[in-house]
Structure 1
Amino acid sequence: MEIRPADSGIPLDTLDRRIVGALQIDGRAEISRMAAVLEVSPRTVTRRLQRMQRAGVLRVVRTTGTAQAVGATVLRVRVLRGKVDTIAESFARRPDVLTADIVLGGEEINVVLTGGPLTRDRLLHHQLPATGAVVSTTAHSVLHVFADAAHWRADALTSDQIAALAPAPAGIGAFATDALDERLLALLGKDARLPHATLAQLAETPESTVRRRLRRLTDAGMLRTHVVIDPRLLGMDIDAALWLNVPPARLREVGDALAAHPHTHAVAATTGPANLIAAVYCPDLAALFAFTTDVLGPLGVTSAETAIISRTAKPVGAQQLRPLSPSPAPAPSPRS
């Protein structure tokens, strides 16, 4: 079965989706290992993976741990009708913006800002108020992350395949990284599948050292990867942001339950009118309705505001802006 959204590039069949699923389990999984688990030839895996990478529909990047997202700011920015692309593109250009989504209707942008307090306050108190196109802004501080984008898995593999691909961490715990560790992590930021030999050349260190360092970083949970791909290519046509109210005594229980659900790709406890936010992928609106009634209802969620994401100006893991329209973008309004 092929899935090809009208504007999302090449079609992906069942094997392509399984390769994506394998990379979601281990972004640096070797071709031979993926081929053995998926029961195809290494040549086939290589050819399929290169096809997706060359078409620009798949990229594997390094991502930080969930603990580092605590303290991030989630913004709900309402803008004048007709100005959403200009403001969204401005946010997407900022290196301190993790993701920027345009809500259906074109009058709101959801932004995750990872900068420190000075950067945040400068944006909130000076730059956005000076932008005539911004109507209002609501800011929520992230208190706890139950799941982030790197947790989400395409429903493409069996439980046995997942177990076979999952790396076996030694559980050595975090440690103080040195200059070489940081150099390797930086090199993997844009392409987490860089071969050991390439990393060794770029870092000017022996390949055996690179292998040893990466294994230690992986075992300590410091080398996490994230597959950047349009979820519509995996059969998930609906992306929705949920702003939830949960009784405080059940906040951790509900957060853990939502994080374990296959539809969610982000769950966090926040300050503000809603104390829990979740981002979900669903095949269609009927599935989103079922999620609301059959998942949120039994969990005791007292209220839920649902916002459909119509477009993503900057997906998690993006290194540069993806234009939202064919016309040249105007000069950005909020400046970093």
Structure 2
Amino acid sequence: MEILDLQLVHALYVDGRASFRRIAGVLDVSEQTVARRYRRLRETGAVRVVGRLDSRYLGHVEEWVMRLRCAPRATLPVAQALARRSDAYRIRLASGGTEIVCHIQTPDQRARDKFLLDELPATRQVTSIAAHQVLRLFRGGTAAWHAPISSLTPEQVARLTPPPSDPEPFDLDDGDRLLLSELAHDGRMHHAALSASTGWHESTVRRRIARLRASGALYFGVDFDEHLLGYSSHTILWISVNPAALDAAGTALARHPQIAYAAATTGPTNLMATAFCTGSDTLYDFITGHVGSLPGIQTIQTAPVLRIVKRAALT
């Protein structure tokens, strides 16, 4: 991957809605060059900016990680059915294709119980279910750059970084939800197009997006083919940690650039993470060296990911 493309993707990780003019100024290239490069990456499916709703700021959403074992040949159809749900995301086929790992967000206890107690058990192809509630997020949510190399300087990152938000729970109205649904498909949709789809004036669209971002409820992530960053190994880690050391272990794990997601969960393993490495040798070194030396580590399970069925969701 060319360095300019890598810099562009890194810039989008910092601020997915930064204007091409602003990015061009930081990268010291023309605005037309940035726009052309982005269109090529977007059209080939290599990169996509999406608006994501951080439901922690709504104050009433639980996040769960599901591990589903399925009957032979049923894994992909079940994963595809899950992908059609608006509350399911990060749906991956792991462990040789016999296991589905997915995240769900439930707005209330009733929705949670319906999914966990009624809908999943009624799916005959699902042979076993393990549900882990996310208790503490160490890394994830807002996009985190985890390429093998840092393509932007700290000064460039600072120039692109949006101002800090002031998180405060609030209730979304129907207009906000319509706007969010459009941004979930294309986080860089022009204000004019958003105006046409919502029926609002462009100034209203700008103000609403600014309000949602300032609250911390809305952020812009990047769906990107990690293989283009040099990664060939995508692995889910299920780690058991001494409870007294869980916070220290999770915080330390999240500092590693190989980690894209890390969270404390309920269940027999209490620390779950997603790791990207450049090959099996580097994965081995990462697990035995960095992960194995974390405080309080008792056991580590690894589940190689074979396919990503769905990445983001905006509920």
TM-score band w.r.t. shorter chain: 0.7 to 0.9
Shift of 1:26: 0.2
Shift of 1:182: 4.3
Partner of 1:210: 205
Are 1:223 and 2:229 an aligned pair?
A: no
Q: Please say if residues 244 and 275 of structure 1, whose CA atoms lie closer than 8 Å, have aligned partners that are also in contact.
A: yes
Q: Distance in 2 between matches of 1:109 and 1:171?
A: 36
Query: Which is strand-richer, 1 or 2?
Result: 2
TM-score, structure 2 as length reference: 0.88
Q: CA offsets, 1:186-213, max 9 Å, x none?
A: 3322211112233233333333333333
Q: Please say if residues 21 and 157 of structure 1, whose CA atoms lie closer than 8 Å, have aligned partners that are also in contact.
A: yes
Q: Please say if residues 113 and 120 of structure 1, whose CA atoms lie closer than 8 Å, have aligned partners that are also in contact.
A: no
Q: Please say if residues 8 and 34 of structure 2, whose CA atoms lie closer than 8 Å, have aligned partners that are also in contact.
A: yes
Secondary structure, aligned partner of 1:109:
strand
Q: CA offsets, 1:297-336, max 9 Å, x none?
A: 23222211111111112222499xxxxxxxxxxxxxxxxx
Partner of 1:281: 276
Are 1:249 and 2:244 an aligned pair?
A: yes
Partner of 2:310: 314
Letter matched to residue 312 of structure 1: I
Q: Distance in 2 between matches of 1:145 and 1:265?
A: 11
TM-score, structure 1 as length reference: 0.83
Partner of 1:331: none
Q: Distance in 1 between matches of 2:70 and 2:170?
A: 44
Secondary structure, aligned partner of 2:269:
coil
Q: Distance in 1 between matches of 2:165 and 2:20?
A: 22
Shift of 1:178: 5.2
Q: Please say if residues 228 and 317 of structure 1, whose CA atoms lie closer than 8 Å, have aligned partners that are also in contact.
A: no
Are 1:58 and 2:47 an aligned pair?
A: yes
Q: CA offsets, 1:208-257, max 9 Å, x none?
A: 33333333332332320111112112212111111111122222222222
Shift of 1:185: 3.0
Shift of 1:275: 0.8
Distance 1:131 1:206, change over 3 A: closer
Partner of 2:301: 305
Letter matched to residue 46 of structure 1: A
Shift of 1:82: 2.7
Are 1:109 and 2:100 an aligned pair?
A: yes
Q: Please say if residues 92 and 101 of structure 2, whose CA atoms lie closer than 8 Å, have aligned partners that are also in contact.
A: yes
Q: Distance in 2 between matches of 1:151 and 1:259?
A: 13
Partner of 1:80: 71
Q: Distance in 2 between matches of 1:175 and 1:124?
A: 27
Distance 1:122 1:213, change over 3 A: closer
Distance 1:210 1:314, change over 3 A: closer
Are 1:43 and 2:32 an aligned pair?
A: yes
Q: Please say if residues 241 and 278 of structure 1, whose CA atoms lie closer than 8 Å, have aligned partners that are also in contact.
A: yes
Q: Please say if residues 70 and 144 of structure 1, whose CA atoms lie closer than 8 Å, have aligned partners that are also in contact.
A: no
Q: Distance in 2 between matches of 1:285 and 1:107?
A: 20
Q: Distance in 2 between matches of 1:120 and 1:182?
A: 21
Distance 1:65 1:130, change over 3 A: closer
Please, what is the CA RMSD of the aligned residues? 2.5
Secondary structure, aligned partner of 1:151:
coil
Moved more, 83-92 or 262-271: 83-92
Distance 1:133 1:220, change over 3 A: closer
Shift of 1:30: 0.5
Are 1:138 and 2:133 an aligned pair?
A: no
Are 1:291 and 2:301 an aligned pair?
A: no
Distance 1:170 1:313, change over 3 A: closer
Are 1:25 and 2:14 an aligned pair?
A: yes
Secondary structure, aligned partner of 1:243:
strand
Partner of 1:334: none
Q: Distance in 2 between matches of 1:151 and 1:245?
A: 26
Q: CA offsets, 1:69-115, max 9 Å, x none?
A: 96222111112233222222222222221121111312111121223
Distance 1:90 1:197, change over 3 A: closer
Partner of 1:92: 83
